[in-house]
Amino acid sequence: MPLLSRDSLAAGAFDVAHMAGAPRLPVTILQIGDGNFLRGFVDWMVDVANGAGLMSAGVAVAQPLDQGVAGLLNAQEGLYTVLLRGIERGAAVESRRVVSCVSEALNPYAEWDRMLALATSPALRFLVSNTTEAGIADLVEPYTPGACQQSFPAKVAALLHARFTALGGTPESGLVLLPCELIEANGAKLKRIVLAHAKRWGLESGFAAWVEAHNHFLNTLVDRIVPGYPRDEAAALGVAWGYEDPLAVAGEPFHVWVIEGPAALAEEFPLHKAGLNVVWTDDLKPYRTRKVRILNGAHTAGALAAFVAGVDTVKGMMDDATLSAYLNTVMFGEIVPFVPLPDTERQDYARTIMERFGNPHIRHELIAISLNSVSKWQVRVLPSLKDYAAAHGEAPDGLSFSLAALLRFYKGTTAADGTCSGSRDSGPYPIRDDAAALTALSGAWVAHGDDPAALVDAVLSNAALWGEDLTRIPGLAHRTATHLAVIEERGMRGALEALVS
C-alpha cells in the first residue's frame, strides 16, 4: 500500500481534502511540540487557512524532547492525516484532511544550528508550543548558546536572544508567541520565566527591553480532544483510504482556540476567517471559567461516582441512564446557571459538551480523570457549588453528592511504599493524589469510617485541604453526610438511583 507523498497528493492520487498542490511553504511558524494535540489542532487549523488562501504559512516542528516524531515526519515529507469523528446536533459527523503545512521537522538536541537558523530567519513571525502543563516551569540552568537548552522556557530565551543578536533588536523582528499549555495565563508566565533566564544569564539589558516591547506573549485557551493514532483501526482505514499513514491523528470535530490579544495580530493570524472556531478577545477569563466549570467541572462531578458505580469511560457514563440523568441535573441545574456568560451561549456550550461526552470514537478513561481529584474538585466544582449556595441559601444536592462520591472513591488502604488503592465491585483501583490529600482522607476513614457525619465534618473542615472550611457553606456538610451514608448502605449505584428517582 502506498505511503503519502506531496507528489501523489498534488496529482490527485487520493480522494481526501488537502491544500491544492500540497506545496512546501516557507516557514513562518516555529512549533515546539510534536504531539498529537498540536498536529491535530494548530497545524490542522493553519492548513485549513492556507487552503482557503488566507495564509501561506509553513510550520517547522521541533521536538521538545530528544525523543520524538521528527524523523517520521520528515520521512513522510511532513504529511499526515487528521481524522475527525463525533456527534454534532445529534448527528454523526466525519471529515478527513491531509495536512501539508509542516515544511520540516527537527530534533533541536541534535540540530541546534538548524533551530537557530529558523529562529533568526526574518520570515519567522510566530512561535507555537505545547510542552504539557509542566513545560512552562522556571528551572535554573546555565546558558549554553552552542547547544540546546533543556527546559522549554530556556529554549525560548536562547532562541529569542539569538534572534535579537542576529536581527539587531528591531521592532519588526519581534515574534508572536502562542503557548497552548493548559495553565492559566500561559503567555504571561512564559514571558516572566524568559526574562528571569535573561537576568540570570547576564544578557544585555537591551535584550530584555526588546522582549518586553516588541514580542507578544499571548495568553491562550485551547480545547479539542485528540486521542491520536487510531491503532486498532489503522489497517481498515488504510484500505478505505487507499494509502498507509503511520502518523494519522484521530480527534473530535469540536475545537476552540481563544487568544487574548490585539485585533491587529488577529489580522496576521486570520484562522477565524477560515470558518474555524478561533476567538480573539481582550479578556480570556469568561472563556476559561466556561471551560473549567462546564467541561472540567462536569467531568469531575460525574467521574468518581460513575467509576465506583462500575463504569469505566465517559462514553459509558453517558450511555448509562441513571448516570446521564444525574449529570444532566448537575450540568443544567447547578453549574450552567452560574457561568458568567449570556444564557444562550452557556446553554449551547453545555449541550455541545454533553454530545462530546457521548462521542463513540473517544475513549476517555474515568480512572485517568480521577487523578488529583481533591484539587480538581476545589477548582472545578466548588465555585459553582458556592455560587448556587449564595443564590439559594444552601448547597445544591447534586454537587453535594459529587463530594460524597469523592470521599467514597478515596476510601482505601495505603501500602508500605505510600501508594493507595480503593475497591469497587469489579476489584481494586489506584487512588492517585498528593501525599497530603491521601493522608487526610485515609486518616478520616480510619478515624470515622463508621460515622459518615463525623467523617464529613473532619474532611470538610480541613482548610489546608480545600483552601477554606467547607462546613461554613450552608447545608453542604449535612447533604454530603446524608449522601455518603446512603452510598455506604446501598452502594454507589443504589444511591444514584435514589437521587435521580
Chain segment 177-190, per-residue pLDDT in tens: 999 998 999 999 99
pLDDT digits (tens, 9 = 90+) for 106-160: 999 999 999 999 999 999 999 999 998 789 999 999 999 999 999 999 999 999 9
Cell for 52?
A: 482557503
What local confidence, expressed as pLDDT, does residue 182 receive? 87
- Overall residue count recorded for the chain in this entry: 501
For the chain, the first-to-last Cα distance in angstroms comes to: 55
Reported for 157-160, long-range contacts at CB under 8 A and 24+ positions apart, including other chains, are 157/193, 157/194, 157/197, 157/198, 157/201, 159/30, 159/115, 159/116, 159/119, 159/127, 160/119, 160/194, 160/207, 160/211, 160/215
pLDDT under 70 in the chain at which residues? Answer: none
What local confidence, expressed as pLDDT, does residue 142 receive? 97
What local confidence, expressed as pLDDT, does residue 168 receive? 97
Q: Which residues contact 226 (CB under 8 A, 6 or more apart)?
A: 36, 37, 39, 40, 41, 249, 250, 251, 252
What local confidence, expressed as pLDDT, does residue 133 receive? 75
Q: How far apart are CA 93 and CA 86, in angstroms?
A: 5
Neighbours of 71 (CB within 10 A): 12
What local confidence, expressed as pLDDT, does residue 273 receive? 97
Q: How far apart are CA 272 and CA 48, in angstroms?
A: 11
The pTM score is 0.89
Q: From start to end of 205-363, where are the E strands? A: 216-217, 219-223, 249-251, 256-260, 278-281
What local confidence, expressed as pLDDT, does residue 3 receive? 86
What local confidence, expressed as pLDDT, does residue 379 receive? 92
Cell for 307?
A: 467509576
What local confidence, expressed as pLDDT, does residue 132 receive? 81
